[in-house]
Homo-oligomer: A and B are copies of this chain.
């Protein structure tokens, strides 16, 4: 490691001080070519961590399945300590922010928006059976799973949910699930411990083919028109968080298994 560090430092400084930069590619020489993924565990881990970082920061082009070489990595992450550590952290950070909001207006218009799937409820039992994102998304199979209404709560999100309600926020559940799944979704949420939300918003039949970012933005626009101040928004997809009427703070829950544009 030390030799490696010395190499980089020397490389950085030699170029930084030289001012002879006719070949820009010589400026910051990196000793690696990290794109090939044919090597041992460390290299796969490096590559897949980088992929996950790019996915979580919304740097990737739209993707339909996880990279095949990252299948074990994603499985280990979601079933191991990594995923729950990340979920607990975002729950705590969101709560810290939630406590900073000034409620002195006392008009009951401070709102928090939660997505449902992979935000309040976990579909891990489904994804355990479907390759953790390695299989192409199967609407019909996933609908069958949703209709069973047995998705467990994501515990750190349930904790945040209860805390923001206790603080006095109005809670809106804004999901890409369809209106025909309202009843099973309500039952699933209640069975998983969620209650006292203000409004559960699902996609109407004419909204089925809208991009999630647009559909969710329009619903947030309506909240804002009704006078709500959207303070926080918790979602596992950037399409939960971006667009119009963006919340004061957005909280991105980890989800390396699927992407919804």
Most chain B CB neighbours (cut-off 10 Å) among A29, A54, A254? A54
- Whether, in the assembled complex, A47 has its beta carbon less than 8 Å from a beta carbon of chain B, the answer is yes
Query: Can you name 18 extra interface pairs (CB under 8 A) apart from A50-B82, A57-B252, A61-B93?
Result: A12-B124, A12-B125, A12-B152, A19-B150, A21-B192, A25-B158, A27-B152, A27-B192, A28-B153, A28-B155, A30-B84, A34-B85, A49-B82, A53-B53, A58-B250, A59-B93, A59-B94, A60-B93
- Interface majority SS on A: helix, strand, loop or mixed? helix
Distance between Cα atoms of A49 and B152 in the complex (Å): 26
Digitize A154-167: 1 where CB-to-B-CB distance is under 8 Å, 0 elsewhere. 11001000000000
The reply to whether A8 and B79 contact each other, CB–CB distance below 8 Å, is: yes
Residue of B nearest to A9 (CB): B128
Are the C-beta atoms of A158 and B251 separated by less than 8 Å?
A: no
Residue A106 lies at the interface, judged by CB distance under 8 Å to chain B = no
Chain B residue nearest to A155 in the complex (CB): B28
**CA–CA, A59 and B57, complex, Å:** 11
Shortest beta-carbon distance, A131 to chain B, in Å? 15
A82 pairs with B46, CB closer than 8 A: yes
B61 and A97 contacting across the interface, CB-CB below 8 Å: yes
Query: What 1/0 flags go to A1-33 for Cβ under 8 Å of B?
Result: 100110011001101110101001101111010
- Give bound CA distance, A63 to B84, whole Å: 23
Q: How far is the CA of A148 from the CA of B235 in the complex (A)?
A: 44
Q: How many residues of A contact B (CB 8 A)?
A: 68
User: Which residue in B17, B34, B61, B128 is a CB contact (below 8 Å) of A81?
Assistant: B34
- Interface hits, A97-117 → B, CB 8 Å: 97
* Chain B residues, Cβ within 8 Å of A17: 150
Contacts of A35 in B (CB 8 A): 88
Is residue A230 contacting chain B, with contact meaning CB distance below 8 A? no
Q: Assess whether A85 is in contact with B46, with CB atoms less than 8 Å apart.
A: yes
Whole-angstrom distance between the Cβ of A70 and the nearest chain B Cβ: 13
- Once the chains bind, are A154 and B28 in contact (CB under 8 Å)? yes
> Contacting A84 at CB < 8 Å: which of B16, B32, B58, B124?
B32
B28/A58 in contact, CB under 8 A: no
Q: List 10 A-B contacts (CB under 8 A).
A: A9-B125, A9-B128, A13-B125, A24-B155, A30-B155, A50-B89, A54-B86, A54-B90, A59-B251, A61-B93
Chain B residues near A29: list those with CB within 8 A.
155
List chain B residues, Cβ under 8 A from A152. 12, 15-16, 27-28
